Amino acid sequence: MTQAVLEALALVERIMDFIKDYRVGGREKYREALRRMSAENGVSLVIDFDDLLSYDRVLADILVESPSVFLESASKAIQQVMMVEDPEYAQKVKTFHARIRRLPESFHVKIREIRARHLGKLIAVEGIVTKISPVKQELVEAVFRCKTCGHEEVVRQEEGSLVKPTQCPECSREGRKSQGFVLVAEKSRFVDVQKFVLQEKPEELPPGQLPRSIEVVVRDDLVDTVRPGDRVTVVGFLRVEEDKKFLKNAPPVYHPYMEANYVEVAAKETLDVEITPEDEKRILELSRRGDLEELIVNSIAPSIYGYREVKLAIALLLFGGVPKVYPDGIRVRGDIHILLIGDPGTAKSQLLRYVSFIAPRGIYTSGKGATAAGLTAAVVKEKSSGEFYLEAGALVLADGGIACIDEFDKMEARDRVSIHEAMEQQTVSIAKAGIVATLNARASILAAANPAFGRYLPNRNIAENIDLPVTILSRFDLIFILRDTPNREKDRELAQYVIDFHREAYPQELENLIPPQLLKKYIAYARKHVRPRLSEEAKAKIVDFYVSMRARSEEPESPITITPRQLEALIRLSEAHARMHLRSVVTEKDAEVAIRLMEHFLRNVGIDIATKTVDIDTVMTGQPKSQREKIILLLDIIKELVRSSNGNPVKVEDVVKEAQARGLDEAFVRKVLEKLYESGEIMMPRQGYIITTV
């Protein structure tokens, strides 16, 4: 036997000893794992790197320096130990795998820092899955049949093109010429293979840089364990593949890809923030402070003057409510959505930028440059292979975090439609190029939009002031209007505040703030460890408020003031306020804060401008009750006039005259006729004449 063969056998023996002998508290950890594996029809034994290091340092060194050699020997070692534990199962399964996890921090390499020195070495890489290919089958052992005599030859396949036998041993022995070989696919051994692209996490991206990515190849039981948008840690080793036509008349250039050995998908709660025991101590100390709410609100975009209610609502959005799954399988979101509508220069974008920075997982994007595919998901064709990949968009990448969308009103109408599902169901469905998939988009949305007329007009309802469909407006838990109205006293305070910042003479309140990194860790800690439940007192408070608001609508002439959608928003806001204080129970005080914010929203946004009464249909349908009744009256007038003219079109002027006689304003009538024409409820067969379509 050669030295190499002896060394390989010795390595298999050492790994077998480790699998058989390693114990934790008297338990045979890996022997038990093998027994479970055969019971569950598994093919992979997951080994903790720490266990290997503590048992045999030489083995750990071989694994790090020559992972492909170690893993091949480990596969044989598992097979041999399994022959003792369960011979029948060992015969059935041709190949077992050793999967290595929990590599020390020193072996974790950032995608941006992958270099030639890492080739062939065992490393761990963290990132976000952006593209994923369909599962294909790779030929491992090919069975070829001789066309002349029918003899079958087994050929192990290496990397590159298909390896065929050069000659047939049977034909050679009998002295005849073989006519060649044909592949017998059904007798050959294939293994599942899949590729995905791992990209740098958005929060780790250096400013002004394009995100880097690396291709990862997964085989056998690792296929289909990840989806686009998942945050994963891949343990494996680097290999290289030649670049096509990279440089003319130069030595060949190769690009790296990663051969995955183990893939660990991070849970939604596992936000990418490391919290040390010292951090935890500071977080718990903070939570006990009496002025915690004030501290957190002041720490959100401290350079922006005022906006206490807005900043409090944003703080609650950062902490979020608790998602629930009902017994019938229906999932109710815990994430809070907020829309800011503001005049130019009211610091909307600055607020969004700050939130994307302070959120443990935040993505900032602008509606102006975002497409439906960029926001949700896309199917892309790769040039080199012609394969279709599923690629995740901003809302999928923000899964478990916050998506800050600026210029929300500037999005194309067809692109906005894709947000509907993401806002309520918190999923993104895609059906393109034969790929039908549903991806998770469990993110809070903080959006900013400009008024349709440049400035917010207080004499018009919200649906008229903003160029957004009511189907999207109604999905926001809270909507804030940031108006720029001259006020001598406030203007002086604002001017002094801004100029002091430019002079670097910061106000005294700024000294008593939570440092941004600590606030980020505080939010991450609360989201991970605190799942508050409603107390009886909080429940009673919310129910009383809801019932008293609904009671206003009991009269036939009264508008609807509040709907179950706002009730769910109240629960989410109450839970978020309890989470802010790291409380496991939602108290009456938490419910009061939620009610106060909801009242602010209803008073300023969900109001019928004409009657000055709260009418939630202003947001839910775009038309308050008073306006809806007028539109119905106008439609009735048109129908009556058409009927009296024997079903022929009627003059617009006649409709306007009749409507004025019944107390409707001419400007309102002409505006509604325009909208009815746009929506297809009336037609204009010829200029100046109209007829109803319903």
| pLDDT number for residue 424 | 79
pLDDT 10s digits, 530-542: 899 999 999 999 9
Nearest to 590 by CA among 570, 564, 604: 570
| pLDDT number for residue 314 | 92
Q: Where are the beta strands (DSSP E) in 382-426?
A: 388-392, 402-406
Position 511 confidence tier, pLDDT thresholds 50, 70, 90: low
Residue with tokens 């007028």: 630
> When comparing pLDDT for 588 and 500, which is higher?
588
Correct CATH for 3-102 of 3.40.50.1110, 3.40.50.720, 3.30.300.20, 3.30.1640.10: 3.30.1640.10
Position 344 confidence tier, pLDDT thresholds 50, 70, 90: confident
Tell the CATH topology of 123-265: OB fold (Dihydrolipoamide Acetyltransferase, E2P) (2.40.50)
Write the CB contacts of 118 (distance below 8 Å, at least 6 apart in sequence).
109, 238, 256
By the 8 A CB rule, do 260 and 235 touch? yes
pLDDT 10s digits, 427-440: 888 777 677 778 88
Q: Where are the beta strands (DSSP E) in 78-121?
A: 97-101
Kindly write down the DSSP assignment for every residue of 621-654, as one continuous string.
TS--HHHHHHHHHHHHHHHHHHHHTTT--EEHHH
In CATH, the architecture of 277-529 is: 3-Layer(aba) Sandwich (3.40)
Nearest to 305 by CA among 481, 499, 457: 499
- Is the model's pLDDT at 574 over the cut of 90? yes
Average pLDDT, the chain: 81
Position 389 confidence tier, pLDDT thresholds 50, 70, 90: confident
> When comparing pLDDT for 486 and 68, which is higher?
68
> When comparing pLDDT for 443 and 384, which is higher?
443
CATH code of 533-620, in short, is: 1.10.8
What does the domain layout of the chain look like in residue ranges? Answer: 3-102, 123-265, 277-529, 533-620, 625-692
- Is the model's pLDDT at 609 over the cut of 60? no
CA 107/CA 49 separation, integer angstroms: 11
> When comparing pLDDT for 640 and 313, which is higher?
313
Q: Token pair of 649, please? A: 């079109």
- For β-strands 435-440 and 427-432, DSSP reports them as antiparallel
* This prediction's pTM: 0.72
* One-letter amino acid of 371: T
- Is the model's pLDDT at 422 over the cut of 60? yes
- Is the model's pLDDT at 476 over the cut of 90? no
| pLDDT number for residue 1 | 42
| pLDDT number for residue 3 | 45
Tell the CATH topology of 625-692: Arc Repressor Mutant, subunit A (1.10.10)
For the chain, the distance separating the N- and C-terminal CA atoms, rounded to the nearest angstrom, is 92
Helix crossing, 625-644 with 652-661: angle to 10°? 120
| pLDDT number for residue 613 | 63
Average pLDDT over residues 597-622: 68
pLDDT 10s digits, 205-263: 777 778 888 999 999 888 888 888 788 999 998 988 877 666 667 778 888 899 999 99
Position 120 confidence tier, pLDDT thresholds 50, 70, 90: confident
| pLDDT number for residue 623 | 62
Collapse the DSSP code of 126 into the 3-class scheme (helix H, G, I; strand E, B; otherwise coil) and give the result: strand
